[in-house]
């Protein structure tokens, strides 16, 4: 009897320990990382831009005010695939190998979900993936093929067939579909004995801004505030972006109006190709006519551009509200860390530019906030500099893990918890756009450094493949690429404390010579530390750098 009693007590203790372990695992915070595509900070109310008066994001603003808001979050390479690769790997573009839209991340390099799984998390990614290979490091996925479709999208899922062949089709708008799939996974498909890590990736508001039909009247009769630089660009830019005597203005930087003769927003907006499902009754003749002056036409185009963009944003905001309501009903709201960001910024007519890619502020700056009432105090706002290499390290740290040495970013968990920068925190961020004159957006390749007050940019104007090398190979089929077109090298410098709209390139102002010299030294040090130098892999670029460094 004594032996039986001892055995029973032993088994009871094992069960008790097992329950304690299970409870300890569940105590880890759930994490939902929400990312929209091209949702720029100007289009969130919390950032107080000219669009804030339109109240474009009430649900997101409420969520943000319950957490910690970052005013200086920046992308390291403002284009979809490289940014997403950086977020998954915690590495800069040259280190993770994804320099442009043709890059990819294989399952063995999908470091963030690997680390989260090792910490006991059930992981999922739903929505836009855009990294070509199967997101096999996640426990569950339902992802759009490539860029995916706005309306009636197809999703790639796990199955018995090879990657890309297992699909499901949905009816309706992608923002609704992605949220439906996320809530279904949270409610019905995950292992509820584990904490969850969900990457919830909207396609919206990426161009061509095909909004859900229910929003066709949203803002229709509202004037959208316009940036002054849409019409007058002052001393922004350099010969690298404008050409000598403005000779390249017609081909560099896709435009709102007719300035760029190859790619202007009007060419898409005023055709019915991208409006047929969103608004089948759309009639361009009610908004533009042949007798308009150039500025009148630009104004009409800008108004339509922003309304479609903000209708897509409205769909994101409403779906975040749906998700929050669901989390509350499921008892998950307050024990879940909620992160919101965009995959980069976006130009909304500033300097008469559309799209992203530039190191200019609206393209480089990312919206970013985190809500977690159990550990993070509501109402904290910080100007600490972070970038998208820091996201993965921070999420791993919040989950109780140790940041792998292969990640180049740094955890900002301390800043989230205190609102204060720890000793030695980074005071600048490095940026590099590699593609060069791509897709008729025609942005010259460049790199630079941004501090809290200053920005220094070097446009080197060459594709990362040496197109002058006889045996060089690159994608010559992709539409709109002018990789073989070298553009002028030039420097730009902006004092953001007095010129936040970057209207005055002050590089040649002797008052800043000492500051510029210091920034160049800091840039060299960062390039070396981050393995972003060009000498070994890209000598044709290094030659331009050496020739023009002291210009």
pLDDT tens track for 291-331 = 999 999 999 999 999 999 999 999 999 999 999 999 999 99
Per-residue confidence band for 75, with pLDDT thresholds at 50, 70 and 90: very high
**522-550 pLDDT per residue, tens:** 999 999 999 999 999 999 999 999 999 99
Confidence check: pLDDT of 1 > 90: no
Instruction: Give the DSSP H/E element, type plus range, for residue 322.
Output: helix 294-329
* Rounded mean pLDDT, 406-433: 98
* Rounded mean pLDDT, 1-17: 50
- The per-residue pLDDT for 271 is 84
* Rounded mean pLDDT, 236-251: 97
How many CB atoms neighbour CB 282 within 10 A?
Answer: 17
Around 393, how many Cα atoms within 13 Å sit in the side-chain half-sphere?
Answer: 20
Q: What is the CA radius of gyration of the chain?
A: 24
324 burial level (CB within 10 Å; 0-12, 13-18, 19+): middle
Q: In what order do the strands lie in the sheet with 68-74?
A: 167-169, 154-157, 140-143, 122-127, 196-201, 30-36, 336-342, 368-371, 68-74, 380-387
CA nearest neighbour of 348 among 39, 75, 34? 39
Q: Where are the strands (E) in 82-203, listed by range?
A: 122-127, 140-143, 154-157, 167-169, 196-201
pTM (two decimals): 0.94
- The per-residue pLDDT for 22 is 42
- 281 vs 218, more confident: 218
- The per-residue pLDDT for 116 is 98
DSSP codes joined into one string, 206-231: -TT----GGGTTTTTT-PPP--GGGT
- Structural contact between residues 316 and 39, judged by C-beta atoms closer than 8 angstroms: yes
- The per-residue pLDDT for 519 is 98
Residues of the chain with pLDDT > 70, as a percent, come to 95
Confidence check: pLDDT of 16 > 70: no
How many CB atoms neighbour CB 168 within 10 A?
Answer: 13
* Rounded mean pLDDT, 398-421: 98
* Rounded mean pLDDT, 371-397: 97
- The per-residue pLDDT for 429 is 98
Confidence check: pLDDT of 183 > 60: yes
- The per-residue pLDDT for 3 is 52
- Identify the sign of the CA torsion 212, 213, 218, 221: positive
Q: Cα–Cα distances in Å, from 165 out to 130, 142, 155, 159, 162? A: 16, 12, 10, 8, 6
DSSP at 188? I
- Structural contact between residues 74 and 430, judged by C-beta atoms closer than 8 angstroms: no
Residue keyed to tokens 């000492």: 514
CA nearest neighbour of 100 among 131, 144, 137, 143? 131
* Rounded mean pLDDT, 423-449: 97
Residues of the chain with pLDDT > 90, as a percent, come to 92
Composition of the chain by helix, strand, coil, percent to 5: 35, 15, 50
């Amino acid at each position: 009897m004594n032996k039986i009693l001892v055995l029973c007590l032993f088994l009871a203790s094992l069960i008790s320990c097992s329950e304690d372990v299970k409870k300890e695992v569940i105590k880890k915070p759930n994490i939902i990382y929400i990312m929209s595509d091209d949702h720029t900070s100007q289009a969130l109310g919390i950032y107080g831009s000219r669009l804030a008066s339109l109240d474009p994001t009430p649900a997101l603003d409420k969520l943000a005010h319950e957490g910690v808001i970052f005013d200086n979050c920046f992308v390291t390479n403002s284009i979809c695939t490289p940014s997403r690769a950086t977020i998954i790997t915690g590495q800069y573009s040259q280190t993770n190998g994804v320099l442009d839209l043709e890059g990819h991340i294989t399952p063995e390099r999908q470091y963030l979900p690997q680390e989260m799984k090792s910490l006991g998390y059930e992981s999922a990614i739903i929505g836009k993936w855009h990294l070509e290979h199967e997101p096999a490091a996640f426990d569950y996925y339902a992802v759009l093929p490539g860029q995916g479709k706005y309306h009636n999208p197809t999703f790639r899922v796990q199955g018995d067939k090879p990657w890309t062949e297992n699909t499901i089709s949905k009816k309706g708008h992608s923002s609704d579909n992605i949220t439906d799939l996320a809530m279904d996974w949270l409610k019905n498909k995950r292992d509820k004995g584990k904490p969850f890590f969900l990457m919830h990736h909207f396609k919206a508001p990426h161009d061509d801004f095909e909004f859900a039909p229910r929003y066709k009247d949203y803002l229709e009769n509202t004037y959208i505030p316009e940036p002054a630089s849409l019409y007058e660009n002052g001393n922004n830019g350099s010969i690298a972006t404008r050409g000598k005597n403005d000779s390249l203005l017609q081909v560099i930087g896709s435009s709102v109006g007719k300035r760029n003769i190859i790619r202007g927003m009007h060419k898409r907006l005023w055709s019915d190709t991208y409006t047929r499902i969103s608004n089948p009754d759309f009639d361009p003749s009610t908004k533009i006519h042949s007798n308009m002056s150039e500025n009148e036409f630009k104004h009409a185009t800008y108004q339509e551009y922003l309304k479609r963009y903000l209708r897509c944003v409205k769909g994101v905001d409403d779906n975040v509200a749906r998700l929050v309501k669901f989390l509350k009903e499921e008892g998950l709201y307050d024990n879940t860390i909620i992160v919101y960001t965009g995959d980069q910024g976006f130009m909304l007519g500033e300097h008469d530019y559309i799209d992203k890619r530039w190191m200019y502020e609206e393209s480089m700056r990312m919206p970013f906030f985190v809500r977690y009432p159990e550990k993070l105090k509501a109402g904290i706002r910080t100007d600490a500099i972070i970038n998208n290499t820091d996201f993965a390290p921070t999420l791993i740290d919040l989950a109780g893990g140790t940041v792998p040495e292969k990640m180049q970013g740094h955890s900002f968990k301390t800043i989230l918890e205190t609102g204060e920068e720890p000793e030695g925190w980074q005071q600048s961020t490095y940026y590099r756009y590699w593609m060069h004159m791509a897709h008729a957006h025609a942005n010259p390749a460049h790199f630079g450094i941004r501090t809290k007050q200053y920005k220094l940019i070097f446009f080197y104007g060459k594709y990362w493949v040496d197109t002058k090398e006889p045996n060089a190979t690159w994608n010559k089929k992709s539409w709109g690429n002018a990789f073989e077109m070298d553009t002028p090298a030039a420097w730009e410098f902006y004092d953001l404390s007095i010129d936040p709209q970057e209207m005055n390139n002050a590089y040649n102002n002797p008052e800043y010579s000492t500051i510029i010299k210091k920034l160049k030294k800091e840039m060299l040090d960062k390039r070396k530390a981050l393995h972003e130098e060009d000498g070994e892999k890209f000598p044709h670029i290094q030659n331009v750098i050496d020739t023009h460094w002291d210009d």
